[in-house]
Amino acid sequence: MRRQLTTMSEKAGLPGSHPVTMPNRQVSTSSAMSDGDAVPTTDPKDTTELLAERLQAWKHAVGYLEDYVGAIEKANKANGKEYEKVLKTISSPLKEGHHFDQDLGGMAGLFENMRQNTQGLVNTHVETEKNLKGSVLPILDRLHKEIKNKSKELASGASKGAKEVDKARNTTQKHIELLGQQTANFESSGGRIASSEDPYVVHRGVLHRLATQVLHENNNRHDLISVQQNFAQFEAHVIEVIQQALMAFNQIVGGQAQKEEQLYADILGTAQRVPPDFEWTRFVGRNGNLLVDPSAGERTIDGIAFPNQDHKSTKPLIEGTLERKSRNKLSMSGYSSGYYVVTPSKYLHEFKDNEYLKKDPVPQISIYLPEATIGTTNGEKFHVKGKDVSKGLGSKLSGTSEIAFKAHTAADAQKWFEVIRAAAGAGPTTEAYSSTPSSPVSPDEKRVVSMPPAYAEGSVAEGKQPAPIQTSGVTGGETVASPTAATPVSAAPATTGEKF
């Protein structure tokens, strides 16, 4: 281009030509063009697009924070509903609650404290949700809008300037290409060309358009510098706002965490303040009449009373230890000891012993005396022949058998004989006998011989005299007075007596 200008200056000084004076601004224009290519290859929109992309990055970062806080806000809302479900698990009164003391300081007070603190947890989550929604999220939302507005400013300012630069460069490029065409025509035509195609005129047009281009480029450069400087301040502002939002967030959720810790600690403290014996002591005080008094003495049979305990039919006529000869003729064991009782029901019962606490005292032998034959005493021995009605295995095998008894002494044998004879209806009712535990024992009160189960025709019930007592079946005994009771059929006079 400098060569073209020099050529044009030389041609202007030829004879017959008018001198041409170039303007002073040509130097400044040449110096401007000496800074680089007339049309730089760099895209003026690159810087603007880079800054716009950075604003987009900040907008997305703030959006992430909004989503994060929003998710925690929703989580607290959901947690509040979940804690309402937790509260329902203890909202109902305690089952069998009357077992617990209803005053504060016990289990009932503990569960009431748990209900209050769980409701506090519900309220805490609800408050946290509202505070995040009303305090933190609006800060981030405003910052998001500021970044969007900044992007719009960049698009309307620097982006517009970049477009103008691009347009000016395209115009300059076209005129430079036109200048190339005109200079080529000048060389080929020998210098004869149209005035509008004069390279000089075209050159001046290039300078004009180049000056306009440079003006737009410099304006755009200044705008970008200003935008870049403003970016530093804006990003500092963005970071400060994010810090403020997170500080508010920390105060809210941190306060919630402390509140939850206090609520749970209060539950624990209430539980730890319950004395270990609180509930039991109060329970004993409320239900002392139903609980066992450890200071009271133990129950004994002697201190227990029940209906018909002292009925006359329950008192034996005589009882004690006797020895009985085995009914098995092949047995070599001889006599065996047993406990025998004559009851007002006129039964002679045999028991293995006098024990009735550890096992049920079921008679091993039971003989209904009015149907038995009684032999007289022979020293300490006497005999009874009758049918065992105890329904035991022995009664099924033996049927009617003769039993030989031996008392401790002859006097004891006589006592047994007299009582058995009276019960059988062969003697008068006598006073019950008593002896030491190793001898026949009977109560102190007088016994009345109980009535047999059936009566003979012509009994007292019909207004007739009683039949005579059986005596022929008793050997070695003297005749005794008849008892003042009706004679049963089984005790009717026998035709013959059985001897032992």
Kindly state the helix (H) or strand (E) to which residue 325 belongs, with its residue range.
strand 318-325
Residue 102 CA: distances (Å) to CA of 280, 290, 369: 13, 20, 69
The predicted pLDDT at position 35 comes to 54
Please count the other Cβ atoms lying within 10 Å of the Cβ belonging to residue 194.
10
The predicted pLDDT at position 493 comes to 37
Kindly list the strands in the beta sheet with 400-406, ordered across the sheet, starting from the edge strand earlier in the chain: 365-368, 347-351, 335-342, 318-325, 400-406, 381-387, 373-374
The predicted pLDDT at position 63 comes to 95
The predicted pLDDT at position 457 comes to 38
The predicted pLDDT at position 357 comes to 79
The predicted pLDDT at position 428 comes to 47
- CB-based burial label for 242 (10 Å; 0-12, 13-18, 19+): middle
The predicted pLDDT at position 444 comes to 40
- Record: fold of 37-272: Substrate Binding Domain Of Dnak; Chain:A; Domain 2 (1.20.1270)
| DSSP classification of residue 394 | H
The predicted pLDDT at position 158 comes to 65
pTM of the complete model: 0.52
Cβ pair 37, 217 in contact under 8 A: no
Whole-angstrom distance, CA of residue 277 vs CA of residue 285: 12
Lookup: tokens for 403: 């039993």
Whole-angstrom distance, CA of residue 351 vs CA of residue 324: 12
Q: Is the dihedral of CA 325, 331, 333, 337 positive or negative?
A: negative
Segments in the chain below pLDDT 70: 1-36, 38-45, 157-161, 190-191, 327-333, 392-399, 426-500
Whole-angstrom distance, CA of residue 189 vs CA of residue 202: 17
Cβ pair 361, 349 in contact under 8 A: no
Cβ pair 150, 231 in contact under 8 A: no
The predicted pLDDT at position 496 comes to 34
CATH number assigned to the domain covering 311-453+466-491: 2.30.29.30
The pLDDT tens digits for 28-73 are: 333 333 456 766 666 666 778 888 899 999 999 999 999 999 999 9
409 torsion bin: left (phi>0), alpha (psi -120 to 50), beta (else): beta
Domain boundaries, the chain: 37-272, 311-453+466-491
Whole-angstrom distance, CA of residue 73 vs CA of residue 253: 10
Helical pair 199-272 and 45-88, crossing angle rounded to 10 deg: 20
The predicted pLDDT at position 332 comes to 61
